[in-house]
Each structure stands twice: as C-alpha cells, then as structure tokens.
C-alpha cells in the first residue's frame, strides 16, 4: 500500500504533465471504485484546467478552474499511468486499454493519465476547493510530517499521557498524516525506540528526536522515488512504486545493521500488523 513518499512521488510525476493543462476529455469506465464516483464526474472534469496538483496525507488533490478539486486516493493497488509524449522525454505511444483502467484523462498537451486499480480500493471524488480541507476524509488528519506544524513540541504534547504503543501512535493519522507501517518501522529503528514502548512513557527528548528522524526517512524515500521517475521503467508510465532498501521493514531474521549490534531483526504483530525491529538496540 503506498505511503506518503510513494504518493508524493506520483504527484511529482503527474505535476509536469497536468498542472496548467486542460483535461480535453475525461472517461469514466465504471460507476465506482471503493465508493461511487460523484454524479457526472466525466462531464465535470472535461474541459477543466488543472490549476495545481497538491497532496494532503495520502490524497492527491487536483484543483480545477471550475472551483472543484479532484481527490485521488490510490488505495491498495491504484496506479496512475502516464502515456503520450507531452514533455518530449518519453518515446512511447498510448498502451492498449487494460481491464482495470477505470478513469482516463486525456490532457490537451497529448498526455494520457490512466487510473488503473485491479483491487478497486482506490477512490476519486470531486470536492469544492474552498472547503476541501473540511471534507470528512481530510478534516481529522493531523499535521503533514514534512510541514512546519509537525514539530518537536507538537509531538511531545501529542504523545503525553498516551497508553498506546508508540508504533500505533505514529500510525494514528490524527497525530501525524500519511505514515504507514513501513516508514514507522524505519523511523523507530533509527531512533532506537522500541515499537512496544508506550508513547506516553518515552522521555520527551527521545520523542523530540523522532521528529527529524521521521522527516529524514520520508525525505530519503521521496528522493529514491524521484530517481525512479527518471529511470527506464518509469518511462513506461508506471509512477510511484519503487524498490527501496529498508533497515528494519521486511528483514525478519536478518542481521541488524546498527553499528556494533549482533542481534537479528525480529517481527511481532501489533494491532494486526507486522512490526519489524531490533530487540537489542531498540529500547
Ligand atoms: Zn540492533
């Protein structure tokens, strides 16, 4: 499931071919994904100019000149495929339509954006731009981890008195936006905080230290995604999924990479999800 860095990578891949461009034709091939599409979605998109492509948590938001904002959520398996040659960078034609191509946007610069989602946990909706942040999907989401509101004092205050394990606290979207299993495991590994420790019982200095670590982990993943945008595979139009090397996530039974540590990475299940960590250096 894509987390914040993957979604940001998709946004960065789409921005150059969508921002400032008119959607010459939108085609919607089914009535719904996870939820029904809004009424008349194809007609409400066709002819509209995309003013800005932004991201909030794991949602991509395309502000249109109609005063509406197209909300895109990739769900578990959603992909945004770019074809055509709008930037003169990629030489390839539009691929043949595939079974799970649910929404197709033909831009007036020749780019085609195809939303393909085999498992259909993705979503698209149209919101009023002026009140988009108050939409039920967005209203309760906490600060962006790469934004100024996510600060050391903020996280210390958010953890105060909390009896849940720090792993669960960081996955709580009301505390911080967009973090998922992978990057929480990685951030806790670097901070040497045990994922089992109760959020409210970690010393304030250690909680504060998590803030720059989380930012760094995300920034590195976005950077890796950015390089994948430039590689050959991405020229085929597949955005936002890339191989990335992790220190803890997915490494059960493999040697801990922390300097001087001789332990192996363990896997436990917390709130129904796998946590990977080093029982020796994460305390
Ligand atoms: Zn270790």
Residue boundaries of the structural domains of the chain: 4-134, 152-277
Task: List, for residues 168-179, the tens digit of each pLDDT value.
Answer: 999 999 999 999
Q: How far apart are CA 62 and CA 22, in angstroms?
A: 12
Is 218 exposed, middle or buried (CB count within 10 Å of its CB: 0-12, 13-18, 19+)?
buried
Distance 166 CA to ligand 1 centre (A): 18
79 given a catalytic annotation: no
Q: How far apart are CA 186 and CA 169, in angstroms?
A: 15
CATH code of the region 4-134: 3.20.190.10
Distance 194 CA to ligand 1 centre (A): 11
Indicate the pLDDT class of residue 232, thresholds 50, 70 and 90. Answer: very low
Q: How far apart are CA 230 and CA 12, in angstroms?
A: 11
Distance 267 CA to ligand 1 centre (A): 13
Distance 283 CA to ligand 1 centre (A): 10
Q: Which of 56, 71, 67, 63 is nearest to 18 (CA)?
A: 63
Is 252 exposed, middle or buried (CB count within 10 Å of its CB: 0-12, 13-18, 19+)?
middle
Active-site residue (options: 52, 120, 192, 273): 273
Q: How far apart are CA 217 and CA 143, in angstroms?
A: 17
Q: What angle do CA 127, 72, 188 make, to 5 degrees?
A: 120
The residues, ordered by sequence, that sit 6+ positions from 14 with a Cβ below 8 Å of its Cβ are 53, 60, 80, 82, 113, 239
Q: How far apart are CA 250 and CA 54, in angstroms?
A: 30
Q: How far apart are CA 60 and CA 124, in angstroms?
A: 10
Indicate the pLDDT class of residue 96, thresholds 50, 70 and 90. Answer: confident
58 given a catalytic annotation: yes
Predicted model pTM: 0.91
Q: Which of 158, 159, 142 is nearest to 199 (CA)?
A: 159
Q: Is the pLDDT of residue 97 over 80?
A: yes
Q: Is the pLDDT of residue 241 over 60?
A: no
Q: Is the pLDDT of residue 90 over 60?
A: no
- Cα separation values, 262 from 192, 251, 256, 281, Å: 15, 14, 7, 9
Q: What class does CATH assign to 152-277?
A: mainly alpha
Active-site residue (options: 58, 112, 167, 190): 58
Distance 276 CA to ligand 1 centre (A): 11
């Amino acid at each position: 499931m894509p987390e914040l860095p993957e979604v940001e990578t998709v946004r960065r891949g789409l921005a150059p071919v969508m921002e400032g461009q008119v959607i010459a034709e939108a085609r919607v091939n089914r009535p719904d994904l996870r939820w029904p599409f809004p009424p008349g979605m194809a007609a409400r998109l066709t002819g509209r100019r995309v003013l800005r492509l932004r991201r909030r948590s794991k949602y991509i938001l395309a502000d249109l000149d109609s005063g509406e904002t197209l909300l895109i959520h990739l769900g578990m398996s959603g992909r945004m495929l770019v074809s055509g040659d709008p930037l003169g960078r990629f030489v390839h034609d539009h691929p043949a339509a595939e079974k799970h191509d649910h929404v197709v946007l033909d831009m007036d610069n020749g780019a085609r954006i195809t939303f393909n989602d085999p498992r259909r946990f993705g979503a698209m909706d149209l919101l009023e731009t002026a009140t988009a942040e108050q939409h039920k999907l967005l209203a309760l989401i906490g600060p962006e981890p790469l934004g100024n509101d996510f600060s050391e004092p903020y996280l210390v205050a958010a953890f105060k008195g909390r009896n849940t394990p720090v792993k669960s606290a960081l996955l709580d979207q009301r505390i911080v936006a967009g973090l998922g299993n992978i990057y929480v495991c990685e951030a806790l590994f670097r901070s040497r905080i045990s994922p089992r420790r109760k959020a409210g019982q970690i010393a304030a200095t250690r909680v504060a230290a998590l803030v720059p670590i989380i930012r760094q982990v995300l920034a590195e993943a976005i950077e890796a995604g950015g390089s994948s945008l430039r590689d050959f595979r991405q020229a085929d139009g597949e955005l936002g999924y890339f191989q990335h090397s992790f220190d803890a996530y997915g490494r059960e039974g493999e040697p801990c990479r922390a300097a001087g540590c001789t332990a192996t990475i363990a896997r436990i299940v917390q709130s129904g999800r796998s946590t990977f960590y080093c029982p020796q250096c994460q305390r």
